[in-house]
């Protein structure tokens, strides 16, 4: 279907197939740098279904800001600071 514009956003009408799938148009995948097999976050917000590229967040709080890896787990600066402040045996 032809794209339509609303509030500076491009919108398409897509149909769900009989297996519940929706095709993300190639142009959108290219804009977002998505490749086959990339994970997507799927959220329901009121009456909207939101799809967005998955970004690994902090293992503890879920924040996606500048995380660093420790033992292959993502940790944000705030949680890392809290971990540093923990006393053994507490």
pLDDT of residue 47: 93
**Per-residue confidence (pLDDT) for residue 21, from 0 to 100:** 94
How long a stretch of residues is the chain? 90
Q: How many CA atoms lie within 13 A of 25 on its CB side?
A: 12
Q: Are residues 49 and 60 in the same domain?
A: no
Domains contained in the chain, number: 2
Give the predicted TM-score (pTM) of the model: 0.55
**For 66, which DSSP code?**
S
Using the CB atoms, write b or e for 61-77: b if 16+ within 10 Å. eeeeeebeeeeeebbbe
Residues 48 and 60 grouped into a single domain: no
Q: What is the mean pLDDT of each run of 10 residues along the chain (90 residues)?
A: 61 93 92 90 92 84 79 84 76
Residue bearing tokens 């490749």: 35
Write down the pLDDT at residue 35: 92
Range of the domain at 77: 56-90
- pLDDT score for 2: 53
């Amino acid at each position: 279907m032809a794209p339509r514009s609303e509030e500076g956003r491009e919108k398409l009408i897509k149909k769900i197939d009989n297996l519940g799938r929706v095709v993300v148009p190639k142009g959108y995948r290219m804009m977002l740098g998505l490749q086959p097999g990339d994970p997507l976050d799927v959220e329901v917000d009121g009456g909207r279904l939101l799809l967005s590229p998955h970004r690994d967040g902090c293992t503890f709080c879920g924040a996606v800001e500048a995380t660093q890896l420790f033992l292959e787990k993502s940790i944000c600066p705030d949680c890392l600071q809290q971990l540093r402040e923990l006393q053994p045996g507490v």
